């Protein structure tokens, strides 16, 4: 990136002169490197049928979340050949999400990865933008969870990608209109991946938006792309919300203002979604009929994936006040995650998911387990919890990080079964602050919706059910229109420092009382910060 960019062009720097010295001896592969690459099969390509199948799989399953590759770039045009690093990286990602037997007969996932990795470290690819794109794609390899030190995981490659991106100025608004759209898409792909990985692994963000001047992604960035602009734009925003929420929780800095900002962003996110990406649509009713109901929209795999981090954010933000045993908001959000995964299981689509979904399943599982001390809830949530377990088992077939999360949830459940604590509260109210986040949805994906929301919205007094919705439609409407920092009363506001009081034993439900020892120091897998930041204590046998 031009040095003058750091001085707002106030200082004239001759960039050609500044670069007029020989490159270092380590830049680019030597003849020995080329021989090593040949020995590792780095230049070998699969037969045509397998090659095209893998490329199709990547474009269908991976590219929607990283719109940085066009199919035409991977085709030979006369003497112009596609980047071998890019191809091998795509084969890595595609082999992660395919079950085609011909692929594994030709080469294993690990063979594809060794080829791509060797090409990267040799410096064979000279185009830095192509190199950053390949690094993004290599995130799909991720052979193990964050509890292992590795230079092969997505956590490692994201730092490599962000470091290279800073070198070539991807964090600055592009000045060259010819490739400006691609550079923006590449930068925001890196950023979204950074947020997702940070949430899953509980580690610091590699990107600080304070150092970034790139405008947010917009439809104009896709004029030369075949990708779904609205899907990617929504994905970047919800990933950003999750990433910032993770950062606040890790640092224990979730102030009133920060919490309100995140809640406002979440609320706007659902309202800004186009109809094609929404989970529910409004059912047409006559004017004198009851309020319109929402029905489940036509199945859309990407739209379902998109909403999972939304409900994960709610499950974290809706944690209860000290002394409460469970939160209706947490149960609702977690039950929606389970319902979405039930669809994935029924369609055998778990295989197409990235490893971060292990984190989402863990968060939802914790939310569902939080009601186990209340017998009436336990029975309702049992089916959803089994779906969470089954989804983790399926994920574990491809992503080993899911194994630890599954064991963690089952260990907590086992300890709860052996405990004698039974907590039955006289009533449980959906907070006025939480209801707007669920208003755009319906009962088809969540057992908890019919159990809680329908009764509350119908004005049920709770005589046959202990759960009611707090707040009148007028109050909720005013909340949706405008929320100032004073809109949340001090009684309702729950600063993280009070939730994290180890003496209170508070989580997404008061489960910590039943789990003695140092369980949360033992678990270091995906989503471990959900345990450590909540400062549970417990000894669980693995």
The per-residue DSSP string of 119-163 comes to: HHHHT----HHHHHHHHHHHTTT--S-TTS--SSSHHHHHHHHHH
pLDDT (0 to 100) of residue 429: 62
**CA-wise closest residue to 311 among 283, 292, 339, 277:** 339
Residue 384 structure tokens:
């959803």
Instruction: Mention every residue, 6+ apart, whose C-beta is less than 8 A from residue 299.
Output: 343, 347
**With the CA atoms of 404, 409, 415 and 416 taken in that order, what torsion angle do they form, in degrees rounded to the nearest 10?**
170
Q: What is the pLDDT of residue 290?
A: 61
**Low pLDDT (below 50) residues in the chain:** 426-427, 455-521, 533-542
Cα four-point dihedral sign 240, 242, 248, 250: negative
Neighbours of 348 (CB within 10 A): 10
Q: Which long-range contacts (CB under 8 A, 24 or more apart) does 463-468 make?
A: 466/376, 466/425, 466/426, 466/427, 466/428, 467/328, 467/427, 467/428, 467/429, 467/430, 468/427, 468/428, 468/429, 468/430
- How much is the pLDDT for 1? 56
80 backbone φψ class: left, alpha, beta (φ>0; ψ -120 to 50): beta
Taking every pair of C-alpha atoms in the chain, what is the biggest distance, in angstroms? Answer: 82
d(CA 391, CA 394): 5
Task: Give me the pLDDT at residue 449, please.
Answer: 86
Tokens coding 148: 């292992």
Beta-carbon neighbour count of residue 369 at 10 Å? 25
266 strand-pairing partners = none
Report how far Cα 470 is from the mean position of its chain's Cα atoms: 30
The predicted pLDDT at position 381 comes to 87
- Other CB atoms within a 10 A radius of the CB of residue 132 amount to 25
Q: Both tokens of residue 196?
A: 């997702």
Tokens of 4: 């003058």
Residue 469 CA to residue 429 CA, distance in Å, equals 5
Q: Which residues contact 10 (CB under 8 A, 6 or more apart)?
A: none
């Amino acid at each position: 990136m031009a040095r003058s960019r750091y001085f707002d062009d106030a200082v004239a720097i001759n960039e050609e002169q500044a670069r007029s010295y020989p490159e270092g001896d380590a830049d680019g592969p030597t003849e020995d490197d080329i021989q090593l690459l040949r020995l590792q099969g780095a230049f070998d390509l699969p037969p045509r049928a397998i090659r095209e199948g893998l490329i199709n799989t990547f474009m269908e399953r991976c590219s929607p979340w990283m719109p940085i590759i066009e199919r035409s770039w991977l085709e030979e045009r006369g003497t112009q050949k596609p980047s071998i690093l890019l191809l091998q990286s795509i084969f890595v990602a595609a082999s992660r999400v395919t079950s085609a037997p011909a692929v594994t007969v030709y080469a294993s996932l690990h063979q594809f990865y060794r080829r791509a990795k060797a090409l990267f470290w040799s410096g064979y690819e000279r185009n830095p933008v192509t190199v950053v794109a390949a690094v993004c794609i290599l995130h799909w390899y991720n052979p193990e969870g964050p509890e292992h030190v590795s230079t092969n995981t997505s956590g490692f490659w994201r730092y490599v990608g962000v470091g290279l991106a800073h070198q070539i100025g991807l964090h600055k608004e592009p000045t060259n209109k010819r490739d400006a759209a691609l550079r923006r898409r590449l930068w925001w792909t890196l950023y979204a991946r950074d947020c997702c990985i940070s949430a899953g692994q509980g580690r610091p963000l590699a990107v600080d938006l304070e150092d970034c001047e790139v405008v947010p992604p917009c439809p104009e960035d896709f004029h030369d792309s075949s990708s779904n602009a609205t899907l990617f734009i929504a994905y970047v925003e919800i990933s950003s919300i999750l990433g910032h929420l993770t950062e606040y929780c890790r640092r224990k800095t979730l102030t009133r203002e920060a919490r309100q900002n995140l809640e406002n962003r979440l609320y706007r996110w659902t309202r800004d979604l186009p109809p094609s990406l929404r989970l529910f649509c409004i059912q047409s009713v006559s004017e004198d009929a009851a309020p319109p109901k929402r029905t489940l929209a036509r199945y859309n795999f990407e739209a379902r994936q998109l909403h999972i981090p939304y409900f994960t954010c709610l499950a974290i933000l809706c944690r209860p006040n000290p002394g409460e045993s469970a939160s209706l908001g947490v149960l609702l959000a977690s039950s929606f995650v389970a319902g979405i995964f039930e669809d994935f299981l029924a369609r055998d689509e778990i295989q197409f998911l990235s490893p971060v979904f292990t984190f989402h399943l863990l968060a939802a599982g914790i939310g569902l387990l939080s009601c186990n001390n209340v017998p009436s809830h336990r029975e309702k949530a049992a089916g959803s919890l089994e779906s969470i377990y089954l989804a983790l088992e399926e994920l574990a077939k491809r992503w080993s990080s899911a194994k630890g999360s599954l064991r963690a949830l089952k260990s907590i459940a086992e300890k709860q079964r052996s405990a004698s604590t039974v907590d039955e509260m006289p009533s449980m109210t959906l907070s006025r602050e939480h209801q707007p986040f669920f208003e755009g949805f319906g009962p088809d994906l969540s057992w908890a919706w019919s159990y809680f929301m329908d009764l509350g919205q119908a004005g049920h007094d709770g005589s046959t059910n202990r759960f009611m919705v707090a707040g009148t439609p007028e109050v909720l409407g005013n909340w949706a229109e405008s929320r100032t920092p004073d809109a949340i009363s001090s009684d309702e506001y729950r600063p993280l420092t009070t939730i994290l009081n180890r003496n209170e034993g508070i989580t997404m439900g008061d489960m910590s009382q039943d789990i003695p020892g140092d369980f949360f120091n033992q678990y270091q897998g995906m989503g471990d910060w959900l345990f450590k930041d909540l400062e549970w204590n417990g000894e669980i046998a693995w």
